[in-house]
A and B are shown apart, each in its own frame.
Chain A
Amino acid sequence: GFAMEGLKDDWLFDSLYRYERLHMFELPHSTRCLEWADRDGTSLYVGGFSDKHTNEIEMLELPEALQPQGLENVCAHTDFKITCGGLTKPPITAIKCVSDMNVVATAGTETCVCLWMRDPDNTDLLTLHTSLPLRNDQSIASSRPVLLDHTPDTPSWLLGAKTAGSATVWDLNSNLPISLPIHTHGAGSSSSADHSPLHGIKFVGPQLCVVCSGKDIGSLVLWDLRSPTVAAQAQVPCSTPHRDKTQVTTTSFALSVDRATGRVVVLSAQGEVSVFEARKLGTALCSCTLNQGQKQSYTGGGRFSGMRTTAAANLCIEFSCSGTKVAVSGLTNGVSIYDTGSWSSSTQEVSPMFTHTGHEAECPGAVVLTHTWHPVFADTVLSADSEGNLHAWQWKSQLDK
């Protein structure tokens, strides 16, 4: 009642001091993906993940007020515009924009990747163009989501993987899979590592990928796609996974790569972060525990019916586009910012320099599903929660909390 409104107002009033900018939106549906459609941060893609009704993939143009030219415009509007969209039955858990090829790829838990294009006659419609099947799809556990990645080094390549063993690279000029030497190695054979849960796979350089997989322990492997052998490997330091009654007893990781510094950061579901040199891996440069608030509790309901997920599935860590900051979500109900620049090999525990608690404050019970940095504006993050809210925020940089 009134008291609740009062509490919510407290957070709102407080935010006047803590944020440089703050915008909050209610999307038509909640999304697990926030994928930029261009390098300027003008538009982004979101996708629905319901297993009960038809889902949408939409390209949203940012409000004028969140675009470079709108910063000084008094009358700049603050609405997202739905530029185009498409309808699809299966849930979407990954979106990758391959702008050079004018396609956007989506994936869920099926063993294929969908390619979408703008309809030439109705330019606000995205239509399903092709479906690309993964390699070794017969032997894959069904509930794992497919991960996608793309690199501007090889603009026509798209990478998709459900497990290490099913990792496929397609050439989008022909929509055919590329046969790579790495596939003949253990990565492609039926060794146990192949079917273990895949937590992250990302390009770190031209034809170089870092892969994080593992059931109870996390292993990091560097693939040189031109060579049949694994180029480097490492074990991710992490404590024993908690055994939560409601969750499956495996651990989970999230991965982020900073191309500029050549670093890889791995986050575990237990709240530990390790930083590695991407091309060497070996021993972690530093490994520490994140000081965080209360643990995330996802009761799996909310306004939007989504796939039944465990908290671990919402783990997300992202390097900022420039500099050494990382944003973390999926551990608590908010998004925390850490500055890895001050970390060393002796760092044990780190506290966030800022935490965005707006999702919980505005909508109790909401849980952050994903986040992304704005490609252009400094210290600006977009985060999406389980109730369909999207926040775009820039914290005040002189704050230390």
Chain B
Amino acid sequence: VNMADIKVVPLGAGQDVGRSCILVSMGGKNVMFDCGMHMGYNDERRFPDFSYITGTGQTCTEFIDCVIISHFHLDHCGALPYFTEMCGYTGPIYMTQPTKAICPILLEDYRKITVEKKGEQNFFTSQMIKDCMKKVITVNLHQTVQVDGDLELKAYYAGHVLGAAMFQMRVQNQSVVYTGDYNMTPDRHLGSAWIDKCTPDLLITESTYATTIRDSKRCRERDFLKKVHECMERGGKVLIPVFALGRAQELCILLESFWDRLNLKAPIYFTTGITEKANHYYKLFITWTNQKIRSTFVQRNMFDFKHIKPFDRSYTDQPGPMVVFATPGMLHGGQSLQIFKKWAEDEKNMLIMPGYCVAGTIGQKILSGKKTIEIDKKIVNVKLSVQYMSFSAHADAKGIMQLIRQAEPRNVMLVHGEYAKMEFLKQKVLQEFGVNCFMPANGETITIETPPVILANMSRLLLKRTLEKGFVSSSKRLCPVEGILVLKDERLEVVALSEVQSEYGLVPHQLKFSLVMSLDTRSIPLLELTEKLTQAAQKLLPDQKVVQLSGSTFGLDSTSITMELTGHESAQNLLITWGLQDERLGDIVFSTLKRNLTRLL
């Protein structure tokens, strides 16, 4: 293992988007970023391929130094209970507080669908989820956390969903930033991702939308309002199943504003359950929302709506238009499904699915166009208008460039993209930032070389001398030093020449160079020639002070370079000498004189 390299392996078979799990090896440490589940599969393909780890002969706990979870979406944390309770990982797990609070809710919800609705056997239990979360350590934004003696991490705000973070991992002088999902444009309730100029060796970013330009948030909001409005105008009822925390919140804020502006009277409801919890969590994690929400919260409680009220089951049969936000999100049970059963057969009504639906759920069936659904052993005809809106906020082509600009990484890696060629993006990144872009196929290992850093102490004497010399360097990180590198007792030290002499009894030798240039100086008397030569030399070397040392010898002040006229009247030679310390300058002096002297004389 080359300690200077960073190795990255996306775990899992296939090229699917939707199961994030990236293994990064650096400085002898192995870090797992995210542990997601693929919700499209019913077998072991839903989990990342951990055989890579077990194949090393070590257990998960021995091999992995820590696990980081970026946010609560199941394709980033869904396999965590499996990894801890069924694969036996007992090492540290890090995530932000909101993530820790919300993950178990989604995991439990999904567990219920998988086991109770679909009747699966080999799945983690409720108790396993609880046990798994007990092992989690929470982190705050911008707080450096020591995982062990060498490994440390720091979380940055990612936007996207409540509690989502980007993580920087550092081992000595190597560092990697993993972005998870992030969003570079702020929305109604979350801010945008931000990172400082931490110059990681590698920036790993999701590239799902790297070659897309998404329509603006406001445009999608408008679309949503348009649909709701159209339905209400014809006296219909709108059902919006909500699942992911935050989405309901945002849509509520939007509708509230719309109702206010247009002075609308129709009722808006949200069912008890997750939505209430969502409000609860937002209040709890108010610091994770955007500035606007926070400042409004001071004036009035943003989560108590004027127009939006809690739903009661009896309202389902009330006549007239209304909007209802109901859980769960994929119509896989609970209140949203009950309401759907009652409203599905009226074509005035509308169903708006605000996101991805897992295969096998009723939500997914409806989205794929099924007109009849069996619910609780009864056939339901789907006559209402079915709409789909995707509100998830991801970074697109522009967003990725913005993040790279902020972080200034040395290398970029795009994972989970669509691998239609992304050569153009690669070129853009190279052109604009001068950094390479890697795009590993799933299962492919990418190795990033990082410049090895050698630590050496500097002797006090050398430091003093270097500072005295007054080296003015424009770079804060690089400062040239001239000294001798000594390896003694497995320690490196940079010392001054005189120290080497005295400590090791080494006799310094002086190296002197001399070159002879023949001059065509017939008929020029020696004295005049000397003067002319001095003048010519001074003219050619305006930065140096040419002084006469003796008779026909002159030199460059403050250097060991001397010039002397030798030979006789008709065939003068110019002897130029210099010591090793002025090697470069001497070379320049010689070639300059050689090129121009005869012309000037």
Residues in chain A within 8 A of chain B (CB atoms): 1-2, 5-6, 8-10, 12-13, 15-16, 22-28, 53-54, 56, 58, 60, 63, 74-75, 77-82, 84-87, 119, 122-126, 362, 389
A22 and B213 contact, CB distance less than 8 A:
no
Judged by a CB distance under 8 angstroms, whether B528 is at the interface is no
Identify 11 residue pairs between A and B in the complex whose beta-carbon atoms are under 8 Å apart, listed by A's number: A25-B213, A25-B219, A26-B213, A28-B401, A56-B428, A74-B387, A75-B367, A79-B213, A81-B212, A125-B421, A125-B423
B257 and A2 contact, CB distance less than 8 A:
no
Q: Which 10 A-B pairs have the closest CB atoms?
A: A122-B423, A80-B213, A79-B212, A24-B219, A85-B424, A78-B215, A24-B216, A28-B398, A82-B211, A124-B421
Judged by a CB distance under 8 angstroms, whether B441 is at the interface is no
Q: Choose from A5, A26, A119 the contact partner of B398 (Cβ within 8 Å).
A: A26
| Chain A residue with the shortest CB-CB distance to B230 | A16
Contacting residues, chain B, for A124 (C-beta < 8 A): 211, 420-424
> Smallest CB–CB gap between B350 and chain A, Å?
11
**Known contacts A87-B427, A124-B423; A12/B222 CB under 8 A:** yes
B220 and A78 contact, CB distance less than 8 A:
yes
Chain B interface residue bracket vs A: 35 or more
Q: Choose from A13, A362, A389 the contact partner of B262 (Cβ within 8 Å).
A: A13
The CA-CA distance from A10 to B258 in the complex, in Å, is 9
Contacting residues, chain A, for B258 (C-beta < 8 A): 9, 13
| Chain B residue with the shortest CB-CB distance to A390 | B213
Main secondary structure on A side of the interface with B: mixed
Give residues of chain B (227-258) contacting chain A, Cβ–Cβ below 8 Å: 229, 257-258
The CA-CA distance from A126 to B387 in the complex, in Å, is 37
Judged by a CB distance under 8 angstroms, whether B2 is at the interface is no
Contacting residues, chain A, for B225 (C-beta < 8 A): 12-13, 16
B219 and A23 contact, CB distance less than 8 A:
yes
Contacting residues, chain A, for B223 (C-beta < 8 A): 78
A16 and B213 contact, CB distance less than 8 A:
no
Q: Choose from A2, A16, A22 the contact partner of B219 (Cβ within 8 Å).
A: A22
B212 and A87 contact, CB distance less than 8 A:
no
| Chain B residue with the shortest CB-CB distance to A119 | B423
A82 and B397 contact, CB distance less than 8 A:
yes
Contacting residues, chain A, for B261 (C-beta < 8 A): 6, 9-10, 13
**Known contacts A10-B261, A54-B431, A124-B423; A74/B219 CB under 8 A:** no
Give residues of chain B (181-239) contacting chain A, Cβ–Cβ below 8 Å: 185, 209, 211-216, 218-223, 225-226, 229
Residues in chain B within 8 A of chain A (CB atoms): 185, 209, 211-216, 218-223, 225-226, 229, 257-258, 261-262, 292, 296, 367, 386-388, 390, 396-398, 401, 420-424, 427-428, 431-432
The CA-CA distance from A56 to B429 in the complex, in Å, is 12
Of A16, A22, A23, chain B has the most CB atoms within 10 Å of the CB of A16
> Smallest CB–CB gap between B184 and chain A, Å?
10
| Chain A residue with the shortest CB-CB distance to B229 | A16
Contacting residues, chain A, for B398 (C-beta < 8 A): 26-28
| Chain B residue with the shortest CB-CB distance to A123 | B421
Contacting residues, chain B, for A389 (C-beta < 8 A): 216
A74 and B212 contact, CB distance less than 8 A:
no
The CA-CA distance from A81 to B212 in the complex, in Å, is 4
> Smallest CB–CB gap between B53 and chain A, Å?
35
> Smallest CB–CB gap between B156 and chain A, Å?
23
Contacting residues, chain A, for B401 (C-beta < 8 A): 28
Contacting residues, chain B, for A56 (C-beta < 8 A): 428
Q: Choose from B213, B214, B390, B423 the contact partner of A60 (Cβ within 8 Å).
A: B213
B209 and A2 contact, CB distance less than 8 A:
no
**Known contacts A9-B257, A28-B397; A81/B211 CB under 8 A:** yes
Contacting residues, chain B, for A81 (C-beta < 8 A): 211-213
> Smallest CB–CB gap between A308 and chain B, Å?
23
B218 and A125 contact, CB distance less than 8 A:
no
A79 and B209 contact, CB distance less than 8 A:
yes
Contacting residues, chain A, for B229 (C-beta < 8 A): 16
The CA-CA distance from A79 to B390 in the complex, in Å, is 11
Contacting residues, chain A, for B213 (C-beta < 8 A): 25-28, 60, 79-82
> Smallest CB–CB gap between A155 and chain B, Å?
27
The CA-CA distance from A6 to B421 in the complex, in Å, is 42
The CA-CA distance from A81 to B218 in the complex, in Å, is 19
> Smallest CB–CB gap between A315 and chain B, Å?
27
Q: Choose from B209, B222, B388, B428 the contact partner of A16 (Cβ within 8 Å).
A: B222
Contacting residues, chain A, for B214 (C-beta < 8 A): 25, 78-80
| Chain A residue with the shortest CB-CB distance to B254 | A9
> Smallest CB–CB gap between A27 and chain B, Å?
6
Contacting residues, chain B, for A74 (C-beta < 8 A): 367, 386-388
A23 and B215 contact, CB distance less than 8 A:
yes
| Chain B residue with the shortest CB-CB distance to A54 | B431
B215 and A24 contact, CB distance less than 8 A:
yes
The CA-CA distance from A63 to B214 in the complex, in Å, is 9
Contacting residues, chain B, for A63 (C-beta < 8 A): 215
Of B209, B220, B226, chain A has the most CB atoms within 10 Å of the CB of B226
